[in-house]
Amino acid sequence: MITADNRDLDRASDLPRAYWHDNRTWDECLRIGHTLADEALRIVEAAPVQEQPQLVCRSAEVTLPVESSVIWNVVLHSPLKYPHRDDRTITTRINVVNLGNAQILTIPGEALPNIGFYLKRKMHGEHNLLFGLTNDAFGYILTKVDFQSFPRYDYVSRTSLGEMTGEILIERSLRLVNESPRPDKR
C-alpha cells in the first residue's frame, strides 16, 4: 500500500496549487484499514494452496553513505548504537525469501513507490512482495532523480540517507535476487 489519498475534495485549501484539507480522523483510518483488509481477503480467496512449498532464504549486506547531517546525528547518538564508520557510511542487511512461488525482498527503510514497482518487476516470483522498514529503518529511500526534485519531496529528501541510497539499494537488491535460486513456478 502507498499512502492513502484522504483528501477532502469538498474543502480545497489552495485550489490553484491543487491542495486540499484532508480527513485525518479515526473513522477515516478505520475505513481505509477495513477497505485494505477486505481487498486482501478478496484477492487470496481463490488462491490455490501450495502443498509443501520450498523455502529459500538469502541475505546480503549493503553499505550506504550517510549524506544527511540529520540522519548522521541519529546514527551517532541513537541509543540503538548503530554500527558506522568514520567515512560516514553504515552497513545494513537485505534479504530475499522464496516461499513456494512467491519472492520477498526486504528493504531497510521506506522506499518510494517507483523503486518498489521497479524492483517487483525485476524479481523472479509469480508473486513478488516487498517488506519495507525491515532489519533497519533508515528513513525514506528515493532515487537520485527524485532527490530534492520539488518542494513536496523536501521532507523525504531531508529524512533519507542521501541522494545515492536508492541507486545503491536497487543495484545490490537486484544482484541478490539474481544470485538466489528462482522460486517454484508451480
Q: What is the pLDDT of residues 79-108, one digit of tens each?
A: 989 999 999 999 999 999 999 999 999 999
Please state, in angstroms and rounded to a whole number, the distance separating the CA atoms of residues 113 and 126.
Answer: 20
* AA identity, residue 44: V
Q: For residue 63, what pLDDT is reported? A: 97
Q: For residue 186, what pLDDT is reported? A: 63
* AA identity, residue 26: W
Q: For residue 1, what pLDDT is reported? A: 47
Please state, in angstroms and rounded to a whole number, the distance separating the CA atoms of residues 90 and 64.
Answer: 5
Q: For residue 2, what pLDDT is reported? A: 59
DSSP 89-152: EEEEEEEEEEETTEEEEE-SSEE-HHHHHHHHHHS-SSEEEEE-S-S---BEE--TTTTT-SGG
Which triple of cell numbers denotes residue 72?
A: 548522521
Residues of the chain with pLDDT under 70: 1-3, 186
CA-closest candidate to residue 87, choices 119, 58, 57, 64: 64
Q: For residue 85, what pLDDT is reported? A: 96
Write down the mean pLDDT value for the chain.
93
Please state, in angstroms and rounded to a whole number, the distance separating the CA atoms of residues 5 and 156.
Answer: 17
| For the chain, the helix, strand and coil percentages under 3-state DSSP, each to the nearest 5 | 35, 25, 40
CA-closest candidate to residue 74, choices 86, 82, 65: 82
Nearest-5° angle of CA 57, CA 175, CA 96? 20
Residue 69, φ and ψ in degrees, nearest 5: -65, -35
